[in-house]
Amino acid sequence: MARPGAACPPPARRVVVAARALLFWALVYSYCGVCACIAGLRLLWSIGRRPGETFRWAVRENPPACLNDPSLGTHCYVRIKDSGLRFHYVAAGERGKPLMLLLHGFPEFWYSWRHQLREFKSEYRVVALDLRGYGETDAPSHKDNYKLDCLITDIKDILESLGYNKCVLIGHDWGGMIAWLVAICYPEMVTKLIVVNFPHPSVFTEYILRHPSQLIKSGYYFFFQMPWFPEFMFTVNDFKVLKSLFTSQATGIGRKGCRLTAEDIEAYLYVFSQPGALTGPINHYRNIFSCLPLQHHEVIMPTLLLWGERDAFMEVEMADITRIYVKNHFRLTILSEASHWLQQDQPDIVNKLIWTFLKEETTRKRE
């Protein structure tokens, strides 16, 4: 008879691990089915109300002028040797200045950093990237090409291809997830880490399993596990879902002065209405459950976490828990009237907080 507290013998441990894995995947696919049923009901409701408009959507053939605004920087491309993929980015600021690398979220692209491209180019070489599968960056067809280790390696390889060995790394939403992982896996490449509205990945995976409210808010993670149907739902009613994410009262940018203009919305519609443009971005999510939880957790560089308290997708309680994984200076700022799209919602405040953090850490090092 085993002693209380003694370790389980290997066969028993394997059974426990297998049972937990079975329960985990049962949860994933069960919730995936629930989310699919809800989406299906919404589709039927739309067909019943406006059958003529439900399946109407248009490819925007010409980019709006804002995507070629010279004040935002120069459109550039770099091909990564190992993967062979070509990445698109917009760069502002002189070459040779310290690099600030910006990673966008979903469903966004480089343009979500337009306010930061203008702001920080005076002292940095600011690069706003289109992540793998987004915008003008190459989009491999198979979902396995979007595993987290591929996305992390992309950032390392791009940094080297740009001629840098370190950077200030800033990420929002899914780009925040990637930024955390790059900081964990390649700490020598990140001088300062700034994340907007995404907790440390370990906090996210632990919190979501214990808080049904966050599980519901993250329902799209599960819905995206389905093939083709999520992409189709985005096209319904001429990309109504995409528009409402940024403009609705529940999820959109709330402050009057910073709401997206009609031209900004057209920029998003231009990018995501292209044939196949949604599959790459959604493929990012189709690998997440096979890659988490993490084996390594600690972040060792100075870190700033900015959070919009009115985030409709991420509960604010995760923000403070994140500090236990940062083994260096950690600063958390929560903005009470801000949405999930924080750097677009309150750009002046966000830019000021970033400047303060960057200069504060520089001063601290000099002392």
Sheet containing strand 303-308, strands side by side = 74-79, 86-92, 125-129, 99-103, 167-172, 190-196, 303-308, 330-335
**Is 173 labeled as catalytic in the residue annotation?**
yes
| Phi and psi, residue 223, nearest 5° | -60, -35
Distance CA 59, CA 61 (A): 6
314 and 321 Cβ atoms separated by less than 8 Å: no
Cβ neighbours around 220 below 10 Å, total: 14
> Catalytic: which of 88, 172, 200, 340?
340
Coil, strand or helix: which one is 200?
coil
Q: What sign has the CA pseudo-torsion 268, 273, 275, 280?
A: positive
Structure tokens at 252: 């959109």
Cis peptide before 227 (omega within 30 of 0): no
Q: Which long-range contacts (CB under 8 A, 24 or more apart) does 217-221 make?
A: 217/312, 217/313, 217/314, 217/315, 218/313, 219/31, 219/34, 219/35, 219/38, 220/35, 220/285, 221/285, 221/288
Q: Is 69 a catalytic residue?
A: no
The catalytic residue among 138, 173, 264, 311 is 173
Assess whether 285 carries a catalytic annotation: yes
Select which of 285, 311, 325, 345 is catalytic.
285
Supply 197's token pair.
Answer: 């509205």
Residue 315, CB-side half-sphere exposure with 13 Å CA sphere: 18
Query: What residue has token string 């999820």?
Result: 251
Beta-strand runs (E) in the chain: 74-79, 86-92, 99-103, 125-129, 167-172, 190-196, 303-308, 330-335
Residue 80 to residue 72: CA distance in whole angstroms:
24
In eight-state DSSP terms, residue 7 is: P
From the number of C-beta atoms within 10 Å of its C-beta (0-12, 13-18, 19+), residue 16 rates as: exposed
Active site residues: 173, 285, 340
